[in-house]
Structures are given as structure tokens and as C-alpha cells.
């Protein structure tokens, strides 16, 4: 089983490490370029995307992550992680940047203050059974380029899971509800690239 990383600058790192370890992966908390160089795939956790962006730039991680993504490293982002994998943010705070890689525009905190957090059952392309999805101050995808596959939408049409090649992201947090299928997909992409 190849070694994978969870970007550990801010956010719910531990939940992702635990989920990946449950699936038998060897997992590294990635904070520095030297650690990134040892992994074959990267999970970008939920948290606060503007803070993760700032810390990534401060610690010299932005360019190495962009380079790894450009070389085809599989990556999975949840919530803030999805924002960081988006090529564009509709409403980023001033100067906010992303790693990019998925040809989408995201809107942060897209579900308003009354419904900051909610849970719902979602049908996801490629999964036999629905997913119990937890949304916490979640983004939504407001534009998708031609190479982007929509994996899940809410009943109102809001796109909440997308994939482009070896990169994918969910606006919700499977790692907090014991859902493991997205992490399995991530590990499958890592294994496919290694073979």
C-alpha cells in the first residue's frame, strides 16, 4: 500500500488520518516540502481555506503542492480542501489563492448563515448506496469546465462533489460520519498511478 499524506497546516487533519489508516494506508501528516516528497497522494482537509492558503505560502508549500498536482499526484479535498483544489474562487477574501488543478469556480460559505451546517443523504456517481453527507459552512461549485465530472448535486442543483482526473473534492465531510468510500476512491487512484 503506497504512502499517502494529509496536509496538516490547519483543519480536521486527524479525522482524515484515522479514516485512511482504517483502510490500511500508511499516512504522513504533511507540513513541509520534504514530507510532501515522500507521499504518492495528498488529502486536503476541511478547515478554513484562507488560513490553509496563507500557511501554505508561509511554509513554502504552495509551489511544491502545485508542482505535484501538475505532475499527476492524486489529491482529494473536503470542504476547504475542495476550495483549495479549485482553479477559481468566486468570493475569496482579498488576496486568497488556491493550489488549483480542478477547472471549477467555487463559492465559499454558499449555504447562508441559518443553515451553516446540515446533513443530508446524497446520491453519488459510482456509489451503489447513498452517502450521508455533513456540510459545515460549505462551499458549492458554481462553474465547471469541460473536463470536470460532477459526482453529486443537492436537489436544488448545487454541485457538491466533482472530479477531474486524479483530483476530486467534496463540499461535505465524509470523514466525520464514518463514510469511507471517498477515501477508498482516493487510495484506488493512488494505487492506479503507482502500478
Active site residues: 79, 173, 175
- Residues 123-162 binding ligand GLN (CB under 6 A) are 136-137
53 CB-near residues (< 8 Å, 6+ apart) = 62, 84, 96, 97, 98
Q: Please give the Cα distance from 4 to 193 (Å, whole number).
A: 12
Query: Would the annotation count 48 as a binding residue?
Result: yes
By three-state DSSP, how is residue 66 classified? Answer: helix
Give the shortest CB-37-to-ligand GLN separation in angstroms: 26
What the block records as the C-alpha cell of 100 is 488549483
- Taking CB under 6 A as the criterion, the residue among 22, 38, 109, 123 binding ligand GLN is 109
Give the shortest CB-11-to-ligand GLN separation in angstroms: 7
- Taking CB under 6 A as the criterion, the residue among 10, 49, 107, 153 binding ligand GLN is 49
Residue tagged 498511478 (cell numbers):
193
Binding residues for L-glutamine are: 47-49, 108, 136-137
Q: Known binding site: residues?
A: 47-49, 108, 136-137
Give the interface with ligand GLN as residue ranges (CB under 6 A). Answer: 46-49, 79-80, 83, 108-109, 136-137
Amino acid at each position: 500500500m503506497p504512502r499517502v499524506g494529509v496536509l496538516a497546516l490547519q483543519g480536521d487533519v486527524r479525522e482524515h488520518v484515522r479514516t485512511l489508516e482504517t483502510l490500511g494506508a500508511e499516512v504522513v501528516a504533511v507540513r513541509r516540502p520534504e514530507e510532501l516528497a515522500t507521499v504518492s497522494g495528498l488529502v486536503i482537509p476541511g478547515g478554513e481555506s484562507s488560513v490553509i492558503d496563507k500557511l501554505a505560502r508561509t511554509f513554502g508549500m504552495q509551489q511544491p503542492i502545485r508542482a505535484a498536482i501538475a505532475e499527476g499526484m492524486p489529491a482529494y479535498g473536503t470542504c476547504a480542501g475542495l476550495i483549495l483544489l479549485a482553479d477559481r474562487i468566486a468570493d475569496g477574501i482579498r488576496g486568497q489563492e488556491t493550489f488549483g488543478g480542478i477547472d471549477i469556480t467555487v463559492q465559499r460559505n454558499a449555504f447562508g448563515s441559518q443553515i451553516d451546517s446540515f446533513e443530508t443523504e446524497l446520491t453519488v456517481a459510482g456509489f451503489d448506496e447513498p452517502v450521508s453527507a455533513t456540510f459545515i459552512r460549505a462551499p458549492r461549485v458554481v462553474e465547471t469546465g469541460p473536463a470536470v465530472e460532477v459526482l453529486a448535486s443537492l436537489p436544488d442543483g448545487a454541485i457538491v462533489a466533482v472530479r477531474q482526473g486524479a483530483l476530486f473534492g467534496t463540499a461535505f465531510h465524509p470523514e466525520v460520519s464514518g463514510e469511507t468510500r471517498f477515501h477508498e476512491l482516493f487510495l484506488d487512484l493512488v494505487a492506479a498511478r503507482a502500478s
